[in-house]
Structure 1
Amino acid sequence: MKTLGMIGGTSWYSTVEYYSSINKKVAEEIGSQGNPPLIIHSLNIELMREQNWEKINAKYLETSQKLEEAGAEAIIICANTPHNVYDYVHDKISIPILHIADATGKRAQQLGLEKLGLLGNKPTMTGSFIANRLKNNFQIETIIPDDQFIDQAHHYVSKELTQGTFSDDALHFFKEQIEQLVQNGADGIILGCTELPILFKDHKMDVPLLATTDLHVNMAVDFILDR
């Protein structure tokens, strides 16, 4: 198996989900007698809350270099928003970073989806790191909720979901956003926050929900098992 470096901590709930899921899925392939070689560096979530991207870029580069020096053969960033650092970091190290949008785009293509609604926190929805990669690499359009709803979505993600709180109010809010995105032409919805699939785990929607964490984990397992 190949050794995977994991950058986590933003949030640690997300990191636990990645670690657990990667181990479980690898065990399904090799049996429970073994587990994959993983190197984890967990950052302080306050780094992301400052939204100082010069500082964030520098920290993620430093961490990526340390993981490479420690023997990682690829890196996975265990959350959506920190993928903003990808363009800054990936050319400065000699091992690949497994991009969350690539995992999402491949699944969308398999399902024949062409226009995806994107839900997550404000930096994820308004940033270009998912939308541009989906457009350039997969010819998939991305749309987001109206401006008046983005701040409320960010509140639920940053103040509740990443803190382990999954309220009925949040579920109702995001269901309404999905319905609106579908009305605006989305034929699939990206759950662009590790905690959103947890919020929706017992609820079905009439549109495909692409849980970026699950798809990203599958990409990680494929890498670890060299397939």
Structure 2
Amino acid sequence: MKTLGMIGGTSWHSTIEYYKLINELVGEVIGADQNPPLILYSINIQLMREQNKEKIIAKYLDIAQKLEQAGAEAIIICANTPHMVYEAVQPLINIPILHIAAAIGKEAQKHGLSTLGLLGNKPTMTGDFIPGFLKEHFGIETIIPASAYLDQSHDYVSKELTLGKFTKEAKDFYKNQMSLLAQRGAEGMIMGCTELPLLIKQEETAFPLITTTQLHAQMAADFILGKV
């Protein structure tokens, strides 16, 4: 098996979910009595809340280099938003970062989805690190909620979901956003916050959900097992 480096901490709830899923998915192949070689570096979520992009990039580069030096053969970032550092960090290390949008794009293509709604916090929805990657590598268009709803979505993510709080109000808000995005042409919904699939399950909505955490973890397991 190959050794995978994990950058977690945003939030620790999502890190636990990643760690659990990767172990389970690899265990399905090698046996539940074994587990894969993983190197985990968990950061303080406050770094992301400061929204200082240069500081965030510098920190992720430092961690990525340390993971590489420690023997990691690839890196997975255990959240959506920190993928904003990908273009800056990837060229400066010698091992691949498994991009979450690659997992999204492959799943969307498998189901014939060409336009996706993107839900999450404000940096994820308004940034180009997921929509740009999907457009360039898969030809997939991405649409986000109307500007009037962006701050509300951000608050639900940062003040509730990343703290492990899952309310009916948040669930109703995101279900409504899915309906509005579908009216604008979205064929499926990117759950662009690691905690969103914990809030809304596929059986609770008619819209195809692209659950980034599960798909990203499967990409990690495939790498560990030498399938990619």
Q: TM-score range by the shorter chain?
A: over 0.9
Partners of 1:55 and 1:168 in 2: CA distance:
35
Q: 1:112-162 CA deviation, whole Å, 9 max, x = no partner?
A: 000000000000000000000000000000000000001000000000000
Aligned-pair distance for 1:36?
A: 0.2
Q: Return the alpha-carbon distance in structure 2 between the equivalents of residues 20 and 54 of structure 1.
A: 31
What is the aligned partner in structure 1 of residue 31 from structure 2?
Answer: 31
TM-fit CA distance, 1:202: 7.1
Distance 2:202 2:131 in 1: 28
Unaligned runs of 5+ in 1: none
Please report the TM-score for the alignment, with normalisation by the length of structure 2.
Answer: 0.98
Q: CA deviation at 1:207?
A: 1.5
What pairs up with 1:94-113 in 2 under 5 angstroms? 94-113=94-113
Matched, 1:120 2:114: no
Q: What are the residue-to-residue correspondences of 1:52-91 with 2, within 5 Å?
A: 52-91=52-91
Distance of 2:184 and 2:219 partners within structure 1: 30
Q: What SS does structure 1 have at the residue aligned with 2:190? A: strand
Structure 2 unaligned regions, length at least 5: none
What is the total number of aligned residue pairs between the two structures? Answer: 227
Query: What do the CA deviations read for 1:60-90 (whole angstroms, capped 9, x no partner)?
Result: 0000000000000000000000000000000
**For 1:203 and 1:172, how far apart are their aligned partners in 2?**
15
- Distance in 2, Cα, partners of 1:204 & 1:12: 25
Paired with 2:199 and 2:162, the residues of 1 have a C-alpha distance of 11
Asked if residue 210 in structure 1 is aligned to residue 210 in structure 2, the reply is yes
The range that moved more, 204-213 or 61-70, is 204-213
Distance 2:201 2:190 in 1: 14
Question: What SS is found at the alignment partner of 1:2?
Answer: coil
- Say what the alpha-carbon RMSD is for the aligned residues: 0.7
SS at match of 2:79: coil
Q: Which string of whole-angstrom CA distances, capped at 9 and with x for unpartnered residues, describes residues 187-222 of structure 1?
A: 010000110000013742111100111110010000
Task: Report SS of the residue matched to 1:98.
Answer: coil
Give the aligned partner of residue 163 of structure 2: 163
Q: Distance in 2 between matches of 1:215 and 1:9?
A: 19
Aligned 8 A contact 2:202 2:208 in 1: no
SS at match of 1:97: coil
Task: Tell me what 2:148 maps to.
Answer: 148
Shift of 1:38: 0.1
In structure 2, what residue type is equivalent to 1:165? K
Identity %: 64
Name the residue aligned to 1:8.
8
Contact kept in structure 1, 2:197 and 2:211, CA below 8 Å: yes
| Dislocated runs of 4+, deviation >3 Å | none
- Residues 134 and 79 of structure 1, relative CA distance in 2, 3 Å threshold: same
Residue matched to 2:194:
194
State the alpha-carbon separation in 1 of the partners of residues 201 and 43 from structure 2.
Answer: 27
